[in-house]
Structures are given as C-alpha cells and as structure tokens.
Chains A and B, each alone.
Chain A
C-alpha cells in the first residue's frame, strides 16, 4: 500500500498576467521516483520552486512528510534536497568544499558534513577529485557534483530538475545508477527531464504538464497503453500526442 509523502493540492502561481501554474494537484508516494514532464514553459520549474519553498503559491498548498510548505516551510526545508537545473555551485571552490558548505547550511556539524561529503563524492564517482576546483571540471563532473550537493543533509525527498542536461553517456549513466540506488535506499524523488527514454527507465509514475496544468498522470506503461501496445509505443509518442508537435519557446 503506497504511503503519501508529497501531496500538492490545487496549486496556482501567476507572474504578472501570465498563469504559470494553474490548478495543479498530485501525490508522490514514499520511495517512488515521480517524473514531471512537459514542454518548455509548461510550468514544471515553477511547480518545483513552489514545492521546494522558494516560491509561495498564490493559491493551494503542499504537504511534504506531513508539513505544509506555507505554514511549516522551515520543517519542509529539513526534509528536502534540491538539484536545480543550473549548476548551482561555487566554481572557485573545490568539490569537497562545496559539499561541506551546503552540508553546514543543511544543519550538519563540520565533522558530519565532511564525512557525508566524502561519501556522496564516492557515490557519484568523484572521490579522487574531491579537492579539485569546480571550474576545472568537465560538464558531466559538474552535474555529478550538483547531484552530490543536493544529497547533503540526508534529505527524504529529492527534487531533480533536469539533472542530465548536456552531459556524456557515461556521466548520464552514473547519474541514473545513483538515482536508482537512492530509491532503493528509500528516498522519494521528483524528477523532471526532457529525455523521455530517461523518464521511461527511471520513473515509477509520470505526470505530463502543459499550459500550467497536469494533462496526464500514470505509470509509463499505462500511459503508453493509452495510445497503443506498450511494447511498440514510446513515452515520447505519448508526450507528443498529448502536448502536440508545435514548437515551444
């Protein structure tokens, strides 16, 4: 029996006259990888920014681990880790220093932060480059450090916003394996990506957003079954059928 971990109810967010998110509701179960897919401008990032307490919803609320993002944001921040789309790292510093710093911000002691930082760097295959400066790293290495930072503080829920953009297959595969390992250890993950095969491989359930709303939500298998035999249909076919083929800016 799945246990609700994140419950979003009727989320709305507008910027000036533009409705970025328009009545989004969904539930993420504990220990699942939940994919949030959608074309550019669908409202995915705004949704994640609300879920991670960076933006306050105009309407609606979210509970994470039973805590409201509106009324218990501090407690929510203690449960989440965020791996943003941008490489949100201090590039002048070493990988280890970045991890330790964000560990301290997550409330860890210096010793705890150092130990977890080394463990996380090992997890993403960068223990040998722990002291290397971020600005000397390749794109794939930076992405892996970005992921390792988001794991500092032992979050229960991880937001991964397009964590594999622009990297080589080896680094991408390392990130996949890391994410699957985290799920196996009991972590709940919200995952956004433009790579449909990635979502198909990793996600237990997928929500497709467009125009600030969720237009479909199910397992990849069930979504594919809606338009044909799942073995012959890809998630990309489903995505294009639901969101159309017109270009998005």
Chain B
C-alpha cells in the first residue's frame, strides 16, 4: 500500500509542480461558478426593469401604480420621458414601455375609465410580456379597489358613515385580501427543481469530475510514452499497486475541483445545510472514485495521450447527453431507459435528491450502490485491458 500511496503522491506532486496547470484547474471551478452567478444573477427568480413614461406626474393613482410596481420583487421601475423612451424603442435599447396618460388620476377619481398604453417592439419579447402581465395585475388590483370603494360608498348612501371610515375599512380589507388571498396559489413541482442553481449544480459537478478524470487518464499513457511506466514495471511495484496509486491520484484531482465548486455554492447561493453539504460531498467522492476507475479503463485502452483525451471527451459527452444532465427526460420514455446506462444519471439523481429535495443518504442508497458497482467493474476491467493490450502485463 505504501508504494501505491507513493505513486499517488508523485502524481499529486507533478500536478502541483506545473503552476499554470494547477492555477488553471483550480480557477476553472471558480470561473464556472462566477458564470453561474452571472447567468442567474445571484438569484433564481424573474427580475426585470419596467420603463414608464409618466404623463400624470404627481397624480395620486399614477404614483400609487408606480409605487406598487416598484414594491414588487420582480421589477425595478425606471421613469423616462416620452422622447427618450421612443428613441430607445426605436434603437431596440428596450422592447416595451408603458405610458401613464395625462389626467390618469383625475379621471380615475371621477370614475371614468382610463387606459394604460403599452408601446412595444413586436410582441415586446418574453421579458416584456412578463412585465406587461405584472403591470396588468397591479392595474387590475388598483381598478378593483376603486370599484369596491365606489360600490361600498354607493351602497352606504343615506347611512351615517363617514367617507374616510369607508375608505379606511375598504383599504384594510383589500390589504388583508392581498396578504392572505381567499384563492391562494401554491406550487407543487414534480421533477427538477425550478431553482436553476439547484437544477444545474449536480450536472456541473458530475461533468467536472469526468473532465478531471480524463486528464488523469492521460498520465498513464504519457508515462507509457516517456518510458517511466516500463521502468516502473521493472521495479518491485506490482500492477495492483500501480493501479491503486493511479486510482487514488485520479480521485484527488477530481475531488479538489468538486470541493471548490461545492464550497462556493454553499457560501454564495446557500443551497446546502451542513448535513446536505456533507452528504453531497460523500456522494461526489463516491462518484469521483467511479470516474477515476473509468479513467483507468481509458488509460489502459488508449495508446497515445491524444487518444486518451478524445476517448475521454467522447465518453464524458455521451454520459452527459444521455443522462439528461442539463435537460429533463420524460418519465417512461425510451430516453429514460437509455439514461440508466449513464453513470452520471445515478450521481445526478443522488445529488438532486440531497440538494433539491432535502433527502438524506438513506434515500440515495440505490444510486450509491450502482456507483460502488461501477468502481469495482471499472477497476477489474481496466486491469484486464492493461494485461491484454500490447506492452501490458
């Protein structure tokens, strides 16, 4: 075992010696993480800017509309002049803006119907349509409030109730309704999590592990070319010790990158609990072991470093594609059956269960068992290939 550890240690030392390679491999997870943060903006829900031309400045209802829109988590409000908004729309700097017409508040107060104008390029784009829906919802709410106040006031005509008491009571009831609606909507999500970080993180982790292993697979082939492998084969080092050393070295390399990626996700997106983090790390470690064993198969079969790289790239891409890592696979479909042949499927399922669904290690026993099986089969197959390939032993 000491010789196996010496082999692993040597690989790690060589890895640490090449400063540019080291910096690159350690920075990559950070860059990937930064990309995730940039794409998802550190948040996981819709967020957009609504551009408004307020031709009723200072009006009670135009102000109320703007304040209500600005209070929404999903929207920022930016006020523009009509000229500027038109120019921006013309240049496609924005796809849609809203005009609050002159006299908007006065006409509403007198019970006259009013119109908000949505000026847009084409259909306003997907974001514009969502913004428009949100504005309509707020406008409908204001309209409903006004109607209720008007109707209650009309119904109470002749009864000695002060108007401001009617206003206060109606406003209180409407606020209560907004906070605890009579008809509430809850979301019950089946399948992948709607949180993009939680949805994609398992896939990014598994892909990183596989890519790291490809690079490790090259080392055995490079040693074959350099002659150091043959030299090792004339020492007292057994093939079992050689493979154990390469196996451990592959795990070290793959796991370091995974650890960085997961730790950053924990710190910034706060998607883990301490327990789910520890459990996910364990699953990632088992997957790294499986990937390292698969890397040894590639290393034993390939004759040149380039062959090892391309075999690894093909293997990684195939595993990622058929596992549904970045797109959902319909239950019961042929694709779902095919995905069972990808090692990523089991790692992704286990990580998704732990990260997105709040599951425990007990819930991922099947997936862990499959990955353990891959480790055993991978090691045996790589040893067999090493023996039967030319120059092997």
In the complex, whether B190 has a CB less than 8 A from a CB of chain A is: no
Partner of B234, one of A77, A87, A93: A77
A interface residues, tally (CB under 8 Å): 31
- Specify which chain B residues have a CB less than 8 angstroms from the CB of A56 in the assembled complex: 393
In the complex, whether A195 has a CB less than 8 A from a CB of chain B is: no
In the complex, whether B72 has a CB less than 8 A from a CB of chain A is: no
Q: Complex formed: what's the CA distance from A52 to B230 in Å? A: 10
Task: Evaluate whether A78 and B236 lie within 8 angstroms (CB atoms) in the complex, with A54-B393, A88-B227 already known.
Answer: yes
Closest to B236 in A: A107
B13 touches A82 (CB 8 A): no
Partner of A92, one of B2, B14, B232, B391: B14
A92 touches B231 (CB 8 A): no
In the complex, whether A41 has a CB less than 8 A from a CB of chain B is: no
B228 touches A88 (CB 8 A): yes
Closest to A92 in B: B17
- Specify which chain B residues have a CB less than 8 angstroms from the CB of A77 in the assembled complex: 234-236
**B13, B236, B238, B390: residue with the most chain A Cβ atoms closer than 10 Å:** B236
Q: Which positions 71-126 of chain A face chain B at CB distance < 8 Å? A: 74, 77-78, 80-82, 84-90, 92-93, 97, 101-102, 104-107
In the complex, whether A171 has a CB less than 8 A from a CB of chain B is: no
**Binding site secondary structure of chain B:** helix
Task: Evaluate whether A102 and B231 lie within 8 angstroms (CB atoms) in the complex, with A54-B393, A74-B236, A92-B18 already known.
Answer: yes
In the complex, whether B45 has a CB less than 8 A from a CB of chain A is: no
Q: Complex formed: what's the CA distance from A105 to B3 in Å? A: 6
- Specify which chain B residues have a CB less than 8 angstroms from the CB of A27 in the assembled complex: none
Q: Complex formed: what's the CA distance from A55 to B230 in Å? A: 10
Task: Evaluate whether A90 and B10 lie within 8 angstroms (CB atoms) in the complex, with A54-B393, A84-B227, A105-B3 already known.
Answer: yes
What distance in Å separates the Cβ of B258 from its nearest Cβ neighbour in chain A?
A: 24
Instruction: List A residues at the B interface (Cβ < 8 Å).
Output: 15, 49, 52-56, 74, 77-78, 80-82, 84-90, 92-93, 97, 101-102, 104-107, 149, 153
**Can you list 8 pairs linking A and B with CB atoms under 8 Å apart?**
A54-B391, A54-B393, A82-B230, A82-B231, A86-B227, A92-B18, A104-B6, A105-B237
Give the 8 A-B residue pairs with the shortest CB-CB distance, closest first: A88-B227, A86-B227, A105-B235, A88-B231, A92-B17, A82-B234, A52-B234, A88-B228
| Contacts A74-B238, A105-B235, A153-B235 supplied; 10 other A-B pairs, CB < 8 Å | A49-B230, A53-B233, A77-B234, A84-B230, A87-B227, A92-B14, A101-B6, A102-B231, A105-B236, A149-B231
